[in-house]
Structure 1
């Protein structure tokens, strides 16, 4: 049966409920007809054969010797061992033979007492049929025939007679339907969940599939897509604003540095002019890094591909190792393997490079990088033996423009955006990053990234 097309979630559930109810009702109506334990009319060929047998038996009894009860008793006891049993009653329902209590016969007599319409019904392993009219010594009697039922009970009868099997069959029949119903009902919810996860990863893309299915989910999907479009417009406006600000700021900065250079050429070197040039250069670097951070947050989902840890970071670590040696420091790292990672290669390389170069800059003479594959995640630990960061400020160092020591950052040229860029890149790849005190005495940065 094909379900009618309905757009509402509740409509679909209602339709499936009525379909299930219809199947149950039809089953309940059909099963009694097929159950031999209920009273049925005798099929025509069998009825004709039983009627003829009744006449033959009546003639044999009529020609036998002895009283009527004796002859009836002889006949009823004669056929029992053959898997047949005959019963004789008066038209009023008095049992003539065999004598004794027979609940099945008495029950059947109450339902089948007309020779014009013989019936049959199964009692245990005996099929009772009758009544059939027989004429003996000018007296009309009713004959009932019981024959041993050798056929095994139908399968559905066996199921109905055993509650555990009935429960098992009900579960086997209903489980696929319920699983299908659960899959149909939850499919729009899973689509909405997947879309929300994509947005959480920074992938602000409209999904037309969200606007299909039940009306409730169509409305939620349309609202979700409108939200994504609004976020895209807001982020695009922010990006344009930052680009415009960058352009407007870089022009006077360029003129300022040119004026400073001309002044130095005319008046010679001075602390004031050098300070102006240094601050202008730092401001230009800060604007550049701020734009990089903004672009990373907006476009991190683009240009993603599958790669591995060795391909991503081996060359970068070798370059950093060489630079550390030039500064009289030692950088060591554990062997890299081809652990599979999916993401933006440039962002992943930049994330680790920023932390490693910070460790080289602020470490005294030792930097250690360790890679640990935990099965589903790659854990990267960067330790240095520098002065470290106070425990109260470990969480704040990932905020943009946050600097632990202004004097140190100014002398080293830091802008406070390096770790913010790293944190954004790691978060955009569904990873985590945190800072703690290193066993070497300096700072430890721990990053985790999911493996595929």
Structure 2
């Protein structure tokens, strides 16, 4: 018992291949989807964190500090302000730790001084308050002088150097700080109100009006990113196996249905082999796909094989019949001669022996042709060959229009011309004409006679083996019924044709056409 290997069937291999291809495609698409989703959500978090950081930095650059800082939403956007040494200067109220490190909120958050030098302690706070009050008074006086009377520092001048909060942001004004354009993004954790979550932090530097450089680090939560990515991964982990099972099942069923006719063809071929009945045919499906074409080709092959076997059987039967007659006649003559030597017909015995010799030669040649014997590649001059074959025959006229050569076997082509002349000689009355000429790329040899001719409905049948249109006369004249069949087989193996038609004089005209060799004959 033969054990089938795993996945030995076409259906199993097709199902496995389709499932693997779909799995790879889905994994690639799912990975790309998750990475793209994560990148987009992280980008949104970066934008939110940068916006929160710039909001606080703009206040510090404008001289706003201490308890007057307007913090963003503490839970969504925790903010910490650090000095150049990394110490916490200010932080949103609920922020307790960043990246595992505690955040110590200062008791007081010094406000930046509007002067060009840094101050410290309580004196700096008093000075900052006084200077801020003086600045407000100066701005009020300036607005009183410029408002309504077309002063030189009117509304247009204030619009050019002022921000959205109405404060003057001219670069030459020492009371306005500077915000760096460089932003650094990092990922980390933050504890807000005793709850620790992942955040995306944006850090940028700001210089206060007191020429103090601070770093503002603001965060945006990554909870939405984690939730979306987890949802996508959950969906893929559940949907991918289900989809692969669906693909495998559908592929299995479709392949099974598609290969069902193939199994029918295989079963019928096995039955034909077992029964040796070549008349049976495989079923042809109603589709127009490759399986239907396979079934039609198989039936054509069976038909050709049946025809070949039938022809072989008929050939054997005809050969046996043809051999039986001369052998029986020769035996009878020899037995009579043995009993009565004076009655021995020596001429008849010789004639029967010659017939047997010719028949044996024809059968051997047909056997070689059926075995696929290929013609040679020698250059054969048909004009000279026709004259040579026709030499010594009565009533034969050879007409050659120049030199005509073909590539092939000289012996086989000579046999074709001899068979054509023998056939014409058995039916001609007084004249046989052989015409050799070249028509384009073809060499043409036409053999005509002035005999009764061949009926139109019999012109293809005469090329079948052991076929005689006049059995009695053909046998009397020594014909075997194989001459024209051999001539056509040789013509086909030389890439040519042999056809029968009516001669201009009313007799039979057999025309041989072969591919002409280029150039002149050697």
Q: Using structure 1 for the length normalisation, give the TM-score.
A: 0.46
Q: Which of the pair has the greater relative contact order for Cα pairs under 8 Å at 6+ separation? A: 2
Q: Higher helix proportion, which one?
A: 1
Q: Using structure 2 for the length normalisation, give the TM-score.
A: 0.41
